[in-house]
Amino acid sequence: MAGDDEVLGLRDVAFAYPRGPRVLDGVSLSLRPGQRVALLGANGSGKTTLLRILVGLTTPSAGTVRLEGAPLRASRADRTRLRTRVQMVLQEPDDQIVGATVRADVSFGPVNLGLARAEVMARVDEAMDALDIGDLADRTPNHLSFGQRKRVAIAGAVAMRPQVLLLDEATAGLDPKAVHDLLDTLTALSRAGTAVVLATHDVDVAWTWSQDTLILSEHTVRRGPTHELLCDDALLADARLATPWGAAVSRRLNRTVLRPSDI
């Protein structure tokens, strides 16, 4: 059940493309401040569709989206409330970056909110500091590395000061250090009160970073503590996911500790 502190939620949401099979069926989700949630599933399981529903880019075929405890309506006022509270970062940063410089791009959202210049600049500086891209402020985005462009795209979302941040495959294409640094940044954002949902196919990223996990497959939708769900071999097999290395190591160590010959 949702509590009074729910920021964003879904109730029995389903989605099907015209003349196509259902991509999502009976999905419920409740997001509260500071939560770190991994969204796992094989390609085609509906991860991106679910994020698009949460951010208002796609309308569910059935069920309701709830914002701050109340059903979201199709009114302009509710769409504006959703846009200011929920931000999504796309998998490909070039699909999201629009500014001629990094600073211009990060300021795009706050400027379009009609904020005063001083407030815009404060948000931009705060977001660039959080993503460690302050030294890139005057650079042209298309001259940056892929990892740097991802950070610029995330900074643009963070500058909106959202209550919920949704990321689609944010670690894809990054080297190990860049992944580590990005996950540290997302953890810091969650500790500051932002609910963060990371859609990924990487079970090791989920195991390392998330508190809770939502697993999508054609047969089940399950949410629970990450280290509990990702030790469920049957669930992982149904969702066509591998066992995380952390779960495999923990299981191996437990078997070793409990082996009679070692007692």
Residue found under tokens 């892929």: 146
Please check the confidence at residue 165 and state whether its pLDDT lies above 60. Answer: yes
Which residue bears the tokens 């500071």?
34
Number of domains present in the structure of the chain = 1
- pLDDT at residue 254 in the model: 67
- Alpha-carbon span 124 to 104, nearest angstrom: 9
* Greatest mean pLDDT range, 15-24, 64-73, 205-214: 205-214
Please choose, from the candidates 166, 163, 160, the residue with its C-alpha nearest in 3D space to the C-alpha of residue 39.
Answer: 166
151-188: b or e for each residue (b if 16 or more CB lie within 10 Å)?
A: bbbbbbbbbbbbbbbbbbbbbeebeeebbebbbebbee
pLDDT of residue 209: 96
pLDDT at 89: 96
Residue 2 lies in a domain: no
Parent domain of 40: 8-262
pLDDT tens per residue across span 111-164: 999 999 999 999 999 999 999 999 999 999 999 999 999 999 999 999 999 999
Strand ranges of the sheet holding 70-71, from the earlier edge strand across to the other edge: 22-31, 8-16, 62-67, 70-71
Distance in angstroms (rounded) separating the CA atoms of residues 168 and 202:
12
pLDDT of the residue at 101: 97
How far CA 223 is from CA of 27, 31, 50, in Å, comes to: 10, 12, 14
User: How far is Cα of residue 236 from the mean position of the Cα atoms in its chain?
Assistant: 20
Instruction: Give the pLDDT confidence of 230-247 residue by residue, as tens digits.
Output: 999 999 999 999 999 888
Tell me which of 92 and 219 has the higher pLDDT: 92
- Residues near 228 by Cβ (< 8 Å), separated by ≥ 6? none
- What are the E-state strand segments in 154-217? 164-168, 195-200, 212-216
Q: How confident is the model at residue 194 (pLDDT cuts 50, 70, 90)?
A: very high
Q: Which two tokens stand for residue 54?
A: 């949460």
Q: What is the CATH number of the domain that holds 177?
A: 3.40.50.300
Structure tokens at 92: 């490909």
pLDDT in tens, 52-94: 999 999 999 999 999 988 898 888 888 888 988 999 999 999 9
pTM: 0.90
Average pLDDT over the chain reads 90
Task: Please report which confidence band the pLDDT of residue 21 belongs to, taking 50, 70 and 90 as the band edges.
Answer: confident
Determine, yes or no, domain membership for 3.
no
**What integer is the mean pLDDT of 183-193?**
94
